[in-house]
Every structure is written in C-alpha cells, then in structure tokens.
C-alpha cells in the first residue's frame, strides 16, 4: 500500500510540475500584458539571458523611445503612448514547438499614430524655425501645446502587423531569444514608422 501511495504521489508531483510550467502561449500572453502596460522592465525579464545582445538591443530601443522622457517629443507623448498601448491586442496565427524551441507568429493590432506623430514633428520644426531667433522658445511648452492641438479625440485600433517571436525553454520556463524588430513600433503606436516616413 505504501508503494502504491508513493507511486501516486510521484505521479501527482510530476503532473503538478508539468501543469505549472509556462508554455509559449502563456509567455506570449505575459509579453503582451507587459506591452499594454508599457512595462519595459518586465519585457526585458522575459528575454533569454544567453541570447547574445537581445536584452541590450531592447534596452537601447526603450532608452531612445519610451524611456527617453527628457526628450521633449517622447516626454510629451508619455500619456499618449500609455493610452495607445492599452488598446493593443493580438492573436496567435501559428505556433511551432520543437523540443525546447518554439516559433510563434502573432497578428498584433495597434493604434495608427503615423499621421498624428508626423504632424507633431512637422509643426514643431516649423515653430522652431520661426522662433529660432528668440531665446524664449521652450520646447517642452511648445510640445504640450502641439500635442493638445493635434491629438485625436478618441484613439482607435487602425493597424495590424504580423510579428514573429522565437523562444527557448529552460528549467520549464520559456524565454524570448528573438523578438520581431517591429515590436517596438507596435509599442510606440507607430512612432518608428512615422519618423522613417518623414521627408524634410
């Protein structure tokens, strides 16, 4: 009887361990929950620590976009980014698992801010040119005024983008070892696209 009970306990422990392991789908859900909250630290914690350069690349991308609050443009758009990020949705298109490796393709929906962001930059450049001879020009005040003037009354999802992620399993936990470059564009409501499309 003791052997039977011990055997059942062993099976229960194995099943419990298996059920508590984080699968790729769960990890994707955690990533997008962090994305919706713009929790850049949580996102970096999901990166595989043996993945060469990925965490550094993400950190740099966050520093020059979401975390660059000293920049008048980025700093002035913090509330907008948070509101837009809260609307991000995703669905898994395909999931391939090969042992300890997984490849996930998702369709992400996010706010299309390209026209809004381009209009802000163009107007700020124009103001800076007009006021270039005045010492009183204040970039932060100008930014706040432009954002209030141009910001849409209601934000809506307007773009979809396919993103590809690769994950690796270590100690029953899935970590990202490859994140689609367009993920940052989704987080920033199309900021990267807007800047790339500008022509001066």
Lowest pLDDT segment from 57-61, 80-84, 134-138: 134-138
Distance CA 147, CA 130 (A): 18
Over residues 121-142, mean pLDDT: 69
Instruction: Confirm whether 1 is domain-assigned.
Output: no
Over residues 56-60, mean pLDDT: 87
Instruction: Confirm whether 16 is domain-assigned.
Output: no
Q: Are strands 101-111 and 173-179 parallel, antiparallel or unpaired?
A: unpaired
Q: Is residue 19 over pLDDT 50?
A: no
Over residues 172-184, mean pLDDT: 93
Instruction: Confirm whether 73 is domain-assigned.
Output: yes
Record the pTM.
Answer: 0.79
Instruction: Confirm whether 95 is domain-assigned.
Output: yes
Over residues 137-151, mean pLDDT: 80
**What are the CA-CA distances from residue 105 to residues 27, 36, 90, 182 (Å)?**
13, 18, 10, 13
Residue 64 backbone dihedrals phi, psi, to 5 degrees: -95, -5
Instruction: Confirm whether 3 is domain-assigned.
Output: no
Tell which residue, 78, 86, 110, 71, has the closest CA to residue 190: 110
Instruction: Confirm whether 9 is domain-assigned.
Output: no
Please give the tally of structural domains in the chain. 1
Please report, for the domain that includes residue 180, its CATH number. 3.10.450.100
């Amino acid at each position: 009887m003791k052997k039977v009970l011990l055997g059942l306990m062993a099976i229960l422990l194995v099943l419990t361990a298996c059920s508590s392991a984080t699968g790729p789908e769960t990890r994707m859900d955690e990533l997008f929950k962090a994305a919706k909250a713009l929790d850049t630290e949580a996102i970096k914690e999901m990166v595989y620590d043996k993945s060469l350069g990925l965490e550094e690349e993400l950190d740099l991308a966050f520093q020059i976009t979401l975390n660059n609050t000293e920049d008048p443009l980025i700093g002035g758009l913090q509330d907008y980014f948070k509101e837009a990020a809260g609307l991000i949705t995703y669905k898994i298109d395909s999931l391939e698992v090969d042992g300890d490796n997984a490849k996930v393709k998702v369709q992400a929906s996010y706010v299309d801010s390209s026209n809004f962001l381009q209009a802000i930059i163009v107007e700020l450049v124009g103001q800076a040119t007009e006021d270039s001879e005045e010492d009183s020009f204040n970039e932060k005040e100008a930014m706040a005024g432009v954002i209030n003037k141009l910001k849409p009354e209601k934000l809506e999802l307007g773009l979809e983008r396919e993103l590809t992620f690769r994950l690796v399993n270590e100690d029953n936990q899935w970590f990202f070892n490859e994140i689609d470059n367009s993920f940052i564009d989704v987080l920033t409501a199309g900021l990267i696209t807007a800047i790339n499309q500008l022509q001066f």
